[in-house]
C-alpha cells in the first residue's frame, strides 16, 4: 500500500465515497432525463420520433462501448480513465444542458454515454483495487451496490424536483456538481493501477459493434413510418450484416473485445437475452409511463417522479428475500416466474384509461413489476458468471450490463413503432388523451409479450442443476501490477447491472 494511504487510512473510505458518487451519476442519468423529457420536447420543438433518441443515444453509446471502456481502464490506467471520463461526462452534460436544438441534446446525451462507458468500469476496478479482500471489501461493495440500486429512484425524484422548481436543463447541468466532486476527490484519494499482459485494443470490434447496433436501433425507430419502408428494412439488415462481421472479427483476432466463448454458452446466452428484454422494459417502456403520468394524468414533474417510485422500491424491498431464495431454489425457477409476474403487471397496466385513478390503475402494477424484477435481476448476475473462466469473469459481468443498455435502446425503438402505429402516426399534440392512452397501453402490452418471451428463454436455455447454475466459488483473477500491490486483471471490465 502506498505511503499516502498508510499515513491516512481514512483516505480509502473517502475514495469509496467518490467512487460511489460516480456510480450514482451513471445510474441516475439513465432516468433523470425521462421526467424532464416532456418539457424538453416542447422547449426544443422535437417530434415524437426524435424525442426517443434522447434516451436511446445515452443507452446505446453506454452499452456498446462499455467493454472497450473496461479495456481502456485496464490498459491505460484506471485512475487516469476515471479522471478523463469524469471530465468528459461533465463537459457532455454542460453541452446537453445548454442545447438549443433537439439534435444538440441527442448528441450531448450520446457523449454522456461514451464517457459513462469509461467511468463505470474504471470506478468498479478502482473499488476492487482499494478493497481487495476481507470485511472491508464486503462493506465497500455493499455501499456501492446500494448506491447502484437506488440510483434510478434518486434520478426520478431529483429529475422531478429540478424540472418542477427550476428548469428541465438542470437535470443535465446538475451533473457538473457531481463531476466537480468526483474530479477533486479522484485527484486527492485515488491511486493508479494497470493490468499486466497483452494490452492490444480491439478497435475494429468496438467500431463494428457500435455501428451495427446503431444501424439496428435506427432501423427499428423508422418502423413507425411503416415496416415496409425500404429504409426501415435497409437499416435493420445493414445492422445485422455489421453485427455478423463483428462476430467474424471476434473469432479471428487474438485479443477480442468480446471472447465468443463468453456468449456461446447456452445458459449465459440465455441470461444475456433475458437481461436485454428486462432492459427494454426498464428503459423503454417506463419512458411511456412518464408520458402517461404527465401528459394524460396531468401530474407535475415532481409528482410524476414520486409516482414512479413503487417500481424501484418494490425491487429494493424484495431484493434480500430474492437473494435468500436464490440459494434455496436456484436461478431457473426465478428466471421463469419473475418475467411472468412482470408480464402480468404490464398487462394490467395496459388497461389504463385517460380518466383512470393512479392508485387503482398504475401504482399496483408498478409495485408488482418491481417485485417481479427482483426475481429477474438477482439471479441474472450469478447466471452470467456460471462456468466462466477467471480471466473472462469481468467481461461476462460487463456483457450483462451492456445487454441491459442495448436492450433498452432497441426496445425503445420498437415500442415507439408500436405507439406510432396505434395513434396513426400523428404527433402527440394532434390527438386526444384517449388516443394517447391507447398508444401507451399498446406499448405496455408489447412489453408484456417481451417478458413472456424472456420466461420462455429461461425455460429453454437456463437448464441444469441448481448447483451447476451458480458460481461454485468466488472468482479469482490473474494478478496485475498496482501501486498498492497485486490486483485482479480485467477488473476494469466489471460493471454492475443498473
- Mean pLDDT value of segment 182-201: 77
The mean pLDDT value for 96-114 works out to 92
Rounded CA-CA distance 84/91 in Å is 11
pLDDT surpassing 90 at residue 454: yes
Q: Indicate whether 308 pLDDT > 90.
A: no
- What architecture is domain 8-192? Up-down Bundle (1.20)
Residues 220, 216: Cα–Cα separation, whole Å? 7
Query: What is the average per-residue pLDDT within 451-468?
Result: 84
Biggest distance spanned by C-alpha atoms of the chain = 68
Q: What average pLDDT score do residues 421-431 get?
A: 69
Domain ranges for the chain, please list them.
8-192, 202-254, 259-477+487-498
The architecture (CATH level 2) of 259-477+487-498 comes to Up-down Bundle (1.20)
Q: Is the pLDDT of residue 78 over 70?
A: yes
Q: Which of the 8 DSSP states describes residue 132? A: -
Here the cell at position 394 is: 469481468
50 pLDDT tier (thresholds 50, 70, 90): confident
Distances (CA, A) of 54 to 104, 112, 406: 10, 11, 14
Average pLDDT of the residues in 412-435: 78
Residue with cell 485494443: 201
What's the pTM?
Answer: 0.79
Give me the helix-helix angle, 203-221 and 230-252, nearest 10°.
160
Taking alpha carbons only, the member of 231, 286, 279, 224 closest to residue 418 is 224
Q: What is the pLDDT of residues 472-497, one digit of tens each?
A: 554 444 444 444 444 444 444 444 43
Residue 150 reports pLDDT greater than 80: no
Same fold, 8-192 and 259-477+487-498: yes
437: left (phi over 0), alpha (psi -120 to 50) or beta: alpha
pLDDT at 182 over 80: yes
The helices-and-strands tally (H runs, E runs) of the chain is: 21, 2
Question: Regarding predicted confidence, which is higher, 491 or 36?
Answer: 36
Residues 222-239: tens digit of each pLDDT: 776 667 778 888 988 998
Q: Which of 278-282, 320-324, 482-486 has the highest mean pLDDT?
A: 278-282
Highest mean pLDDT among 19-28, 96-105, 218-227, 472-481: 96-105
pLDDT at 95: 95
Q: Are strands 487-488 and 479-480 parallel, antiparallel or unpaired?
A: antiparallel
Amino acid at each position: 500500500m502506498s505511503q499516502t494511504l498508510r499515513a491516512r487510512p481514512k483516505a480509502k473510505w473517502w475514495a469509496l465515497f467518490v467512487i460511489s458518487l460516480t456510480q450514482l451519476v451513471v445510474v441516475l442519468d439513465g432516468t433523470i432525463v425521462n421526467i424532464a423529457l416532456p418539457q424538453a420536447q416542447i422547449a426544443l420543438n422535437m417530434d415524437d420520433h426524435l424525442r426517443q433518441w434522447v434516451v436511446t443515444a445515452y443507452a446505446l453509446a453506454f452499452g456498446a462501448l462499455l467493454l472497450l471502456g473496461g479495456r481502456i481502464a485496464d490498459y491505460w490506467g484506471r485512475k487516469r480513465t476515471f479522471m478523463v471520463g469524469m471530465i468528459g461526462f461533465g463537459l457532455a452534460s454542460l453541452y446537453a444542458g445548454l442545447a438549443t436544438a433537439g439534435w444538440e441534446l441527442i448528441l450531448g446525451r450520446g457523449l454522456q454515454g461514451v464517457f459513462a462507458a469509461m467511468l463505470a468500469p474504471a470506478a468498479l476496478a478502482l473499488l476492487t483495487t482499494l478493497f481487495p479482500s476481507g470485511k472491508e471489501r464486503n462493506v465497500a461493495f455493499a455501499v456501492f451496490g446500494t448506491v447502484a440500486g437506488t440510483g434510478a429512484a434518486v434520478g426520478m425524484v431529483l429529475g422531478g424536483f429540478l424540472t418542477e422548481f427550476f428548469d428541465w436543463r438542470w437535470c443535465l447541468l446538475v451533473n457538473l456538481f457531481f463531476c466537480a466532486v468526483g474530479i477533486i476527490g479522484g485527484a486527492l484519494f485515488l491511486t493508479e493501477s494497470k493490468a499486466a499482459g497483452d494490452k492490444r485494443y480491439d478497435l475494429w470490434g468496438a467500431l463494428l459493434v457500435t455501428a451495427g447496433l446503431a444501424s439496428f436501433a435506427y432501423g427499428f425507430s423508422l418502423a413507425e413510418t411503416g415496416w415496409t419502408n425500404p429504409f426501415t428494412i435497409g437499416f435493420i439488415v445493414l445492422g445485422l450484416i455489421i453485427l455478423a462481421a463483428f462476430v467474424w472479427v471476434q473469432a479471428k483476432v487474438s485479443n477480442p473485445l468480446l471472447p465468443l466463448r463468453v456468449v456461446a454458452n447456452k445458459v449465459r446466452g440465455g441470461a444475456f437475452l433475458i437481461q436485454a428484454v428486462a432492459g427494454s422494459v426498464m428503459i423503454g417502456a417506463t419512458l411511456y409511463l412518464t408520458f402517461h403520468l404527465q401528459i394524460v394524468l396531468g401530474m407535475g414533474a415532481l409528482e410524476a417522479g414520486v409516482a414512479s417510485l413503487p417500481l424501484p422500491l418494490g425491487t429494493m424491498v424484495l431484493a434480500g428475500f430474492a437473494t435468500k431464495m436464490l440459494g434455496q431454489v436456484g436461478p431457473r425457477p426465478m428466471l421463469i416466474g419473475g418475467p411472468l409476474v412482470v408480464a402480468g403487471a404490464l398487462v394490467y397496466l395496459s388497461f389504463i384509461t385517460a380518466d383512470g385513478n393512479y392508485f387503482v390503475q398504475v401504482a399496483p402494477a408498478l409495485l408488482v413489476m418491481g417485485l417481479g424484477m427482483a426475481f429477474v435481476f438477482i439471479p441474472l448476475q450469478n447466471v452470467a458468471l456460471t462456468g466462466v473462466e477467471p480471466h473472462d469473469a469481468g467481461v461476462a459481468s460487463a456483457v450483462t450490463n451492456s445487454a441491459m443498455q442495448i436492450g433498452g435502446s432497441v426496445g425503445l425503438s420498437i415500442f415507439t413503432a408500436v405507439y406510432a402505429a396505434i395513434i396513426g402516426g400523428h404527433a402527440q399534440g394532434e390527438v386526444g388523451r384517449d388516443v394517447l392512452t391507447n398508444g401507451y397501453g399498446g406499448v405496455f402490452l408489447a412489453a408484456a409479450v417481451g417478458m413472456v418471451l424472456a420466461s420462455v428463454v429461461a425455460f429453454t436455455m437456463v437448464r441444469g442443476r441448481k448447483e451447476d447454475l451458480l458460481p461454485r466459488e468466488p472468482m479469482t483473477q490473474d494478478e496485475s501490477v498496482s501501486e498498492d500491490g497485486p490486483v485482479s486483471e480485467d477488473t476494469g471490465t466489471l460493471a454492475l447491472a443498473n
